[in-house]
Structure 1
Amino acid sequence: MEAAIDSFSHGFDNFLISTIVAGLLLTGSCVVYVLLTPMKELELLRQGNASAGLALAGVIIGLAIPMASALAFSISVFEQIIWGVVALLIQLLAFRGVDLLLKDLPKRIENDEAGAAILLIAVKISSALIIGAALWPATAPVPLP
């Protein structure tokens, strides 16, 4: 019992810092994404646009998956931040890719076209899963020669 308490007392500060950093990264990345994409998801959502809600949910999940992997596999807060920024950039590229494929994605979301939002979610989640899985070998210690 004493070993468990010692483990908790020594690891709690690292747990707390890493969790707070991950939460701030996720929140900050979502804000940056919403500001950089041409859609006004929150405004559309307040107007009852379900496709905007779907698209925003895809953003949050698409960013949370690689952030969780970065939290699990990074050896420092700095490394966690780097991978969080990489995840944001890839999610912005995923948006652009779907926009190029569908021609005028923001307008489709504004028109509440669920099919466009669903495709965007699928691309975001699949790219997030790939990024998240790629983090493990990317963060593995480099063997010395």
Structure 2
Amino acid sequence: MEMLQTSLAGLGNFAMYFLISIVLFFVFKLLYTFITPHDEWKLVKEQQNTAAAIGFGGAMIGFAIALAGAASSSAFFVDYVIWAFVAMLAQVFAFLLLRFTFMPLIAERIDNNEVSAGIILACVSISVGLLNAACMSY
């Protein structure tokens, strides 16, 4: 019984971090769809746009990777939340960098369901998430 209590001692902290992670994930979804010139949910749900699904999925994976890095590297809960917002900004920056430098027509290409554009966006987003997570391990 003591071993079970020891194993479950961190359950409160787990629940707190996990629940705020889900909230932050939802906030990221709202922020990301606000920043992009197209509505990813509408493109995916109503138009079955594969390019939008791939690009948006990559952004969510990249953000989740950065969240995981923040959770494992943070000194305390508020530190985690601060770094989660940094991760959000990094993902938004990744999209804007791609849109305004390397692929200025990325939004139109995703609207037109060009899968190659969705793949590039996903790759950039996941790469930024990995770099972000690694840089958070201060």
TM-score (norm 2): 0.92
Asked if 1:113 is matched to 2:114, the reply is yes
Matches within 5 A, 1:1-40: 2=2, 4-40=3-39
Deviation at 1:78, TM superposition (A): 0.8
In the aligned structure 2, how far is the partner of 1:18 from the partner of 1:123? 27
Asked if 1:76 is matched to 2:76, the reply is yes
Deviation at 1:117, TM superposition (A): 1.0
* Match of residue 96 from structure 1: 96
In the aligned structure 2, how far is the partner of 1:98 from the partner of 1:117? 12
Deviation at 1:9, TM superposition (A): 4.0
In the aligned structure 1, how far is the partner of 2:14 from the partner of 2:6? 12
Q: Deviations over 1:31-84 (max 9, x none)?
A: 111112111111111212110111110111011000011111212221111111
In the aligned structure 1, how far is the partner of 2:122 from the partner of 2:105? 16
Deviation at 1:118, TM superposition (A): 0.8
Identity across aligned pairs (percent)? 31
TM-score (norm 1): 0.88
In the aligned structure 1, how far is the partner of 2:42 from the partner of 2:20? 28
Segments of 4+ in structure 1 off by > 2 A?
none
Tell me the SS of whatever aligns to 2:130: helix
Q: Quick check: which has more Rg, 1 or 2?
A: 1
Task: Tell whether the 8 Å contact from 1:70 to 1:80 is kept in structure 2 after alignment.
Answer: yes
Structure 1 unaligned regions, length at least 5: 138-145
Task: Tell whether the 8 Å contact from 1:99 to 1:105 is kept in structure 2 after alignment.
Answer: yes
Query: Size of the alignment, in residue pairs?
Result: 136
Task: Tell whether the 8 Å contact from 1:55 to 1:117 is kept in structure 2 after alignment.
Answer: yes
